[in-house]
A = this chain, B = another copy of it.
Amino acid sequence: MNLKELAKELNLSISSVSRALRDSKEISVSTKKIVLAKAKELNYHANPFASNLRRQESKTIAVVIPEIANNFFSLAINGAESYAQKKDYHVLIYQTHDNLQQEISTLKHLQNGRVDGILISLSSQTANTDHLKDIKNKGIPIVFFDRVAENINAPKITTNDYESGFKATEHLIENGCKKIAFLSISNKLSIANKRMNGYLDAAKKHGIAPDYKQIINCDTDKEGNTILIKKLLQRPDRPDAILACVEELAVSSYVICQELKLNIPRDIKIISFSNLQTAAILNPSLTTITQPAYEIGREAASVLFQLMENKGTLQRCGDVVLNSELIIRNSTKMA
């Protein structure tokens, strides 16, 4: 069932039917009604590819993320998808699994016009950003969220990473901690570095500047991370607190502490950047810095739509910084 057949059924020209269906005001109300009714009756659905081809737009955005099965990202997608749905847009999902090659190849694919815009959170291995520049140069609207590329001139939606790192560290210090370790996810990600700088500055301010043995650079190899953390916790001068850059590292730390019979929070306190509200509820000893993940996704989508609607006209769209919340539970209060 296509326009041609529908038009024949109606004894109208293809273009009139097309116009009627898109509610053009060149068409009389009465004809519109008839057309709409017939379309419904015959279960007509416009072929999206034909109209995409003709109109040179896809009504689709892509969301490129490291991993969908991650509380933060799935919440962010939720926000973005809900926003897109309202705008009658479709959402394509691509996972990079924190693999730079995957990210590059995905973005290459997206240069062909399949999407009108891109929402992206970088892989933790992304240092070189040529593939991102290609997208910019092609004029495809792109918005970064959370894991952003600092050297690309495009809107970035982030949270107050530096302040959060600072506050969390200060909170630990105020509760008696003196040897605070920092678990980073990647030294290539600006969010990780910002969080670390907050941590470093807070420590410095209180005169307990950490040596670099207390900063552990983890990566995507879970096994390897476990070994690193275990080593850290088995040292004679083991830390009395851990600030984990992401949830996964906090969970690993937690498990290792159990294994080593280290009591949380008595022997060691843990604070994590996290969105695992549920886990936090289930485990009151876990203090978290909770990012407004849903809002980040929503805001990112909103900015992307501004960009798309003003393609060309709009020179730049302001970056947005949302606030994370330090949710203090028993762990750190009980000094």
Contact = CB atoms under 8 A, between A and B. Distances in A.
Interface of A: 43, 45-50, 52-53, 58, 60, 67-71, 74-75, 77-78, 81-82, 85, 90-95, 108-109, 111-114, 134, 247, 251, 254-255, 276, 278-279, 281-283, 286, 294
A81 B102 CA distance: 13
Nearest to A91: B93
B85 A77 contact: no
Contacts of A74: 68-70, 74
Given A43-B134, A254-B282, 16 more contacts: A43-B111, A45-B111, A45-B112, A47-B113, A49-B53, A49-B113, A60-B92, A68-B77, A69-B71, A69-B77, A70-B74, A81-B93, A81-B94, A91-B93, A91-B94, A254-B281
Contact of A251 (B45, B52, B281): B281
A171 to B, nearest CB: 20
Contacts of A247: 278
A186 to B, nearest CB: 20
User: How many copies of this chain?
Assistant: 2
Main secondary structure of the interface of A (DSSP, over half): helix
A247 B77 CA distance: 21
